[in-house]
Amino acid sequence: MPIVFEEVIAETGEEPRTVDRPEAPRVAEGSPEEDLRIFRRLQARADYRASRLSAD
């Protein structure tokens, strides 16, 4: 199922883009695996924003 990165679209004003990727495996809520996944997602978002700022 395609996933739309709406937050990035809202920040950049670009048209919606979809990326096909396999569904991530389920992990228990509050588990170390979930914490790591959340951290990586937030880190990727911060890296993206920093790269957009440095491009300006």
What would the pLDDT profile of 32-46 be if each residue is shown by its tens digit?
Answer: 888 888 899 999 999
| Cα–Cα distance measured from residue 50 to residue 1, given in angstroms and rounded to the nearest whole number | 29
Asked whether the whole model's pTM tops 0.85, one would answer: no
pLDDT value at position 30? 78
User: What stretch of H or E contains 4?
Assistant: strand 3-4
- Please, what is the average pLDDT of the chain? 72
| Cα–Cα distance measured from residue 39 to residue 13, given in angstroms and rounded to the nearest whole number | 25
| Cα–Cα distance measured from residue 35 to residue 20, given in angstroms and rounded to the nearest whole number | 24
Indicate the DSSP class of residue 56.
-
pLDDT value at position 1? 39
Digit-by-digit pLDDT tens for the chain (56 residues) are 345 455 555 565 666 555 666 666 666 777 888 888 889 999 999 998 888 888 76
Handedness of CA 38, 39, 44, 50 (dihedral sign): positive
